[in-house]
C-alpha cells in the first residue's frame, strides 16, 4: 500500500485516538478501550516502520503510541472529583449506550404486565396462582375492613425497610447476573415480575379499588419497577456481549459488558434505597391527599426519565461536540508522495 493510501485509510481513526488521549478523564474512565487503542496503534506503527521507515507518518505514530503507553502505565493520583465524575459523566455515558437494551427490557416487562393483568381480569383464580392464597385472603380481609392497603402497615418501618431493600437488590442482581445465560435468565426474571405486578394491580381493579390502591402502590413502585427494568437492561447487555461480540473475542466483549453492567448496578443502589424508604415510611400513609400521592409519583418518574434517559443523551452529545472540536484542532502529518 502506498503511503498516501495508508494515511487516508487510517487518518480518522488516529484522530479519534488523539482526541481520546487529550481527554485524560475519558481515557482514564475507559482503560479497556485505551488498551485496545494501544494494540492497534502498535500494529499500525509496525507496518509504517516496515514500509515507510523515514516517513513523517512513522514519527507521528511513534509519538502517538508513546503517549498511549504513558496513559496506560503512568501512575496518577485519583482526582478529588472522581466520585462526582462517576455520577455525572461516566455512568450517564454507559446509560446512553444501553438505551436500546432499556427499551427492550421495558417492552418485555410491559408485555408481561399485560398478560398478568388480562389473565387476572379474565380468571380470578389466576391471582391466587401468582400471589398465593395467603396473600390474597389477607388482602380480601383488609378490603372488608375498609383498608385495602393495610399490608403496608403490618410491620415496623425499619424492619420493613431492610427487608424490602434486600429483596429488591436481590431481584435486580438476579436480573443482571442471569444475563450470562445468553440473556434468557434476564428475560425470565423480567417476565415473571411483569406478570406478578400485572396480576397484583388487576386484583384491585376487579374490585373497583383502582383509585384507592394504584396511587399508593406506585408511590414506591415507580422507582422500584423502573430500577428492575434497568437492571434487566444490564443483564441483556451481558447476554448480548456473548451473542454479538462484534469485532472482539467473546471473552473481551463479555469483560467489557460485565464492567459496564456492574457500574449500572452500582448506579441503581440509591434508587432501591429510596424506593424501600418510600414503601416503608410513606406508602403506609394511605390516607394522604391524592394530589400528594401523584406529586411523589410524578417526581419519581421525572427523576428516572431525566437521569437515565435525557441526561445521558445530553452528556453523549456534549462529549461528541468536544471530540469534534478536538478533531478540527488536531494536526496530522502530510507525507510527501513518492
Residue 308 has pLDDT above 90, yes or no: yes
What are the helix and strand counts (H, E) for the chain? 15, 0
CA distance 186 to 264: 15
CA distance 117 to 120: 5
CA distance 198 to 123: 13
Top-ranked range on mean pLDDT: pick from 49-53, 143-147, 235-239: 235-239
Q: If you average pLDDT over every residue of the chain, what do you get?
A: 85
Residue 336 has pLDDT above 80, yes or no: no
Instruction: For residue 333, name the pLDDT band (cuts at 50, 70, 90).
Output: very low
Instruction: For residue 189, name the pLDDT band (cuts at 50, 70, 90).
Output: very high
Neighbours of 96 (CB within 10 A): 18
Instruction: For residue 4, name the pLDDT band (cuts at 50, 70, 90).
Output: confident
The residue among 286, 138, 136 whose CA lies nearest residue 206 is 136
Provide the grid cell at 71.
496513559
What pLDDT, on the 0 to 100 scale, is given for residue 80? 56
Read off the pLDDT of residues 257-283 as tens digits, 9 standing for 90 and up: 999 999 999 999 999 999 999 999 999
Instruction: For residue 338, name the pLDDT band (cuts at 50, 70, 90).
Output: very low
CA distance 213 to 58: 70
Read off the pLDDT of residues 13-60 as tens digits, 9 standing for 90 and up: 777 777 666 655 455 555 556 666 777 777 788 888 888 887 888 888
CA distance 312 to 91: 8
What pLDDT, on the 0 to 100 scale, is given for residue 8? 82
Backbone angles phi, psi at 120, to 5 degrees: -70, -35
Residues 30-37: contacts with CB under 8 Å, at least 24 apart: 31/72, 32/252, 32/255, 32/256, 32/259, 34/68, 34/71, 34/72, 35/72, 37/68
CA distance 64 to 38: 9
Q: How distant is the alpha carbon of residue 267 from its chain centre? A: 8
CA distance 138 to 135: 5
Read off the pLDDT of residues 202-218 as tens digits, 9 standing for 90 and up: 999 999 999 989 999 99
3-class secondary-structure state, position 256: helix
Read off the pLDDT of residues 52-110 as tens digits, 9 standing for 90 and up: 887 888 888 887 777 766 665 554 455 557 788 889 988 999 999 999 999 999 999 99
Amino acid at each position: 500500500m502506498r503511503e498516501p493510501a495508508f494515511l487516508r485509510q487510517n487518518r480518522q481513526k488516529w484522530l479519534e485516538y488523539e482526541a481520546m488521549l487529550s481527554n485524560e478523564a475519558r481515557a482514564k474512565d475507559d482503560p479497556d478501550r485505551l488498551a485496545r487503542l494501544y494494540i492497534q496503534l502498535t500494529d499500525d506503527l509496525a507496518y509504517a516502520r516496515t514500509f515507510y521507515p523515514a516517513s513523517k507518518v512513522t514519527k507521528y505514530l511513534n509519538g502517538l503510541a508513546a503517549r498511549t503507553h504513558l496513559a496506560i502505565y503512568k501512575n496518577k493520583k485519583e482526582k478529588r472529583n472522581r466520585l462526582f465524575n462517576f455520577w455525572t459523566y461516566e455512568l450517564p455515558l454507559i446509560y446512553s449506550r444501553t438505551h436500546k437494551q432499556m427499551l427492550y427490557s421495558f417492552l418485555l416487562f410491559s408485555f408481561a404486565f399485560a398478560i398478568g393483568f388480562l389473565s387476572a381480569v379474565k380468571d380470578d383464580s389466576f391471582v391466587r396462582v401468582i400471589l398465593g392464597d395467603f396473600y390474597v385472603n389477607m388482602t380480601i380481609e383488609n378490603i372488608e375492613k375498609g383498608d385495602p392497603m393495610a399490608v403496608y402497615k403490618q410491620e415496623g418501618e425499619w424492619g420493613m425497610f431492610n427487608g424490602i431493600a434486600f429483596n429488591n437488590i436481590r431481584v435486580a442482581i438476579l436480573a443482571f447476573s442471569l444475563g450470562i445465560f445468553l440473556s434468557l435468565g434476564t428475560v425470565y426474571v423480567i417476565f415473571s415480575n411483569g406478570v406478578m405486578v400485572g396480576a397484583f394491580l388487576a386484583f384491585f381493579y376487579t374490585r373497583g379499588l383502582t383509585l384507592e390502591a394504584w396511587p399508593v402502590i406506585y408511590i414506591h413502585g415507580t422507582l422500584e419497577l423502573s430500577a428492575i427494568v434497568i437492571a434487566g437492561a444490564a443483564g441483556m447487555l451481558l447476554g448480548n456481549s456473548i451473542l454479538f461480540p462484534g469485532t472482539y473475542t467473546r471473552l473481551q466483549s463479555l469483560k467489557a459488558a460485565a464492567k459496564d453492567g456492574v457500574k449500572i448496578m452500582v448506579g441503581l443502589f440509591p434508587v432501591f434505597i429510596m424506593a424501600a424508604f418510600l414503601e416503608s415510611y410513606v406508602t403506609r400513609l394511605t390516607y394522604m391527599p391524592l394530589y400528594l400521592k401523584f406529586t411523589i409519583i410524578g417526581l419519581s418518574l421525572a427523576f428516572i426519565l431525566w437521569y437515565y434517559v435525557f441526561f445521558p443523551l445530553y452528556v453523549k452529545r456534549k462529549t461528541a461536540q468536544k471530540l469534534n472540536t478536538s478533531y478540527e484542532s488536531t494536526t496530522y502529518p502530510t507525507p510527501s508522495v513518492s
